[in-house]
Amino acid sequence: MIRVLIERHIADDLGAHYEKAARETLQLAMQAHGFISGEALKNASDPNHRMVIATYRTLQDWQRWAQSSERQDMMATLNPMLETEEKVTVFEH
């Protein structure tokens, strides 16, 4: 089992648009092979700083989703809302 931390910094005044797109992305990810769980968090002192924590069965399952056309399409929607490129870190036991 692995955990994937996805850190994002969204642009000012795009929070509502980001929330909608991020929810749609998580719903798609939930259908991906090997997906176990996921949650989206907001920094308590900086509402533009977001973190997604996803659990996948294997690194290969995450990589399959990360490279999928579904995620690429969703990232094409999310990326214009981000101030910086998302940072992805994979942790394993």
pTM summary value: 0.91
- How many domains would you assign to the chain? 1
Mean pLDDT (the chain) is 94
Mean pLDDT of 17-21: 91
Whether 22 shows a pLDDT value over 90: the answer reads no
We report the CATH number of the domain holding residue 59 as 3.30.70.100
Q: At what angle do helices 59-66 and 69-78 cross, to 10 degrees?
A: 60
Task: Give CA–CA dist 85/75, Å, rounded.
Answer: 10
Mean pLDDT of 70-90: 95
pLDDT at 26: 86
Q: Cα-Cα-Cα-Cα dihedral of 54, 57, 61, 65, to 10°?
A: -20
pLDDT at 23: 86
The DSSP result for 5-45, as a single string, is EEEEEBPTT-HHHHHHHHHHHHHHHHTSTTEEEEEEEEETT
Residue given tokens 């990589």 in the structure block: 63
Task: Give CA–CA dist 87/6, Å, rounded.
Answer: 6
Segments forming the whole domain that contains residue 64: 2-92
Q: Write the pLDDT tens digit of every residue in 54-77.
A: 999 999 999 999 999 999 999 999
